[in-house]
């Protein structure tokens, strides 16, 4: 397969942008660059950073970007208001990148949905008709898939297909299961949180016999399992895969899931692969 047939992908996080090219069919990923990104910079600086990363890639067919919301993925207009990427609010990012890069086609996809499509294409959801991907990190992301295509509407999925918009016992789901929620709960139960600790350290200590750490993870993921279970039933999903920075704790909490669930084997490339697969359809 020649360079002209490769898909150019930018995967964007709150503090980084990864530029990669993907070969459809074999789904080989070639990462050209992973660069730091100042998400609190000016609109011009952020767009320039995206464009600089994209120029590392073969752009003959255009570009696809996987990035977090709020964002209108159909029109390419950013909806960020607070904190990260706030300077992009109301900007037609698609038009800005088409002009800067001289390409005709720029496609956008939610990062959690890209992860889910990637897992359906080559990962833990492969072969599943209806399935769900859930990413857990600073917040909750989700992708509800029917034959590999994202479902965002109807009464079988949460509003917009987004789990973060659901509640549990009157509070947003992210107040129960997210990095900050887990660390807050550990601090409350242990009396303090050791300096420099993240969820990885909580999980490591849970594996080492720290009962407080273990129970914090079981309780937090137990809420997630209870909320997702209702959507598994309504959507008719046969399998759920977890991704994101917190999915590494899955071995500690696997027992709380009353439905077929697993963690991704590839936290680095799934969203990139899913964005490429989406672009080729």
User: For residue 49, what are the contacts with CB-CB under 8 A and spacing of at least 6?
Assistant: 17, 35, 37, 38, 41
Q: Could you tell me the strand order of the sheet in which 130-136 lies?
A: 149-150, 140-146, 130-136, 239-243, 261-263
In the predicted structure, residue 43 carries a pLDDT above the cut 90: yes
Average pLDDT in the 1-13 region?
82
The domain segmentation of the chain, as residue ranges, is 3-110, 124-265
Q: How far apart, in whole angstroms, are the C-alpha atoms of residue 126 and residue 240?
A: 11
Q: How far apart, in whole angstroms, are the C-alpha atoms of residue 37 and residue 60?
A: 25
Q: How far apart, in whole angstroms, are the C-alpha atoms of residue 170 and residue 174?
A: 12
DSSP string for residues in 58-112 = --TT-EEEEE-SSEETTTTEE---SSTTGGGTT-BHHHHHHHHHT-S-EEEEEHH
Of the candidates 249, 258, 34, the residue with the CA atom closest to the CA atom of residue 137:
249
User: pLDDT, tens digit, for every residue of 181-212?
Assistant: 999 999 999 999 999 999 999 999 999 999 99
Average pLDDT in the 226-255 region?
97
Q: How far apart, in whole angstroms, are the C-alpha atoms of residue 106 and residue 124?
A: 28
Q: Bridge partners of 149?
A: 146
| CA dihedral for 175, 178, 181, 186, sign (positive or negative) | positive
Q: What is the pTM of this model?
A: 0.94
* Average pLDDT of the chain, as a whole number: 95
Q: Give domain 124-265's CATH superfamily.
A: ATPase, nucleotide binding domain (3.30.420.40)
Task: Determine the CATH number of domain 3-110.
Answer: 3.30.420.40
Tell me the CB-side half-sphere exposure of residue 26, using CA atoms within 13 A.
10
Q: Do domains 3-110 and 124-265 have the same CATH topology?
A: yes
Average pLDDT in the 171-183 region?
97
């Amino acid at each position: 397969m020649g360079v002209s047939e490769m898909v150019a992908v930018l995967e964007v996080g709150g503090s980084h942008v990864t530029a990669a090219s993907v070969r459809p069919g074999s789904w080989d990923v070639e990462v050209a660059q992973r660069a730091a990104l100042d998400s609190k910079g000016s609109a011009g600086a952020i767009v320039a950073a995206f464009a600089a990363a994209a120029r590392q890639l073969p752009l003959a067919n255009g570009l696809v970007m996987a990035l977090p919301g709020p964002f209108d993925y159909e029109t390419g207009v950013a909806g960020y208001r607070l904190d990260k990427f706030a300077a992009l609010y109301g900007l037609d990012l698609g038009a800005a990148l088409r002009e800067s890069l001289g390409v005709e086609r720029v496609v956008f996809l939610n990062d959690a949905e890209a992860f889910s499509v990637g897992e359906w294409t080559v990962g833990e959801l492969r072969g599943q008709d209806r399935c769900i991907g859930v990413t857990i990190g600073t917040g909750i992301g989700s992708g509800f898939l029917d034959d590999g295509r994202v479902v965002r509407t109807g009464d079988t999925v949460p509003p917009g297909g987004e789990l973060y918009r659901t509640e549990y016992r009157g509070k947003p789901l992210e107040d129960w299961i997210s990095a900050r929620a887990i660390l807050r709960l550990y601090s409350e139960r242990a009396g303090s949180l050791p300096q420099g600790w993240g969820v990885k350290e909580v999980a490591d200590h849970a594996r080492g016999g720290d009962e407080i750490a273990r129970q914090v993870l079981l309780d937090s993921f137990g809420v997630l399992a209870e909320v997702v279970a209702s959507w598994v039933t309504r959507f008719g999903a046969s399998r759920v895969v977890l991704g994101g920075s917190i999915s590494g704790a899955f071995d500690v909490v696997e027992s709380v899931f009353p439905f077929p669930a697993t963690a991704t084997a590839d936290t680095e490339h799934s969203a990139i692969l899913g964005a490429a697969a989406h672009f080729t359809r």
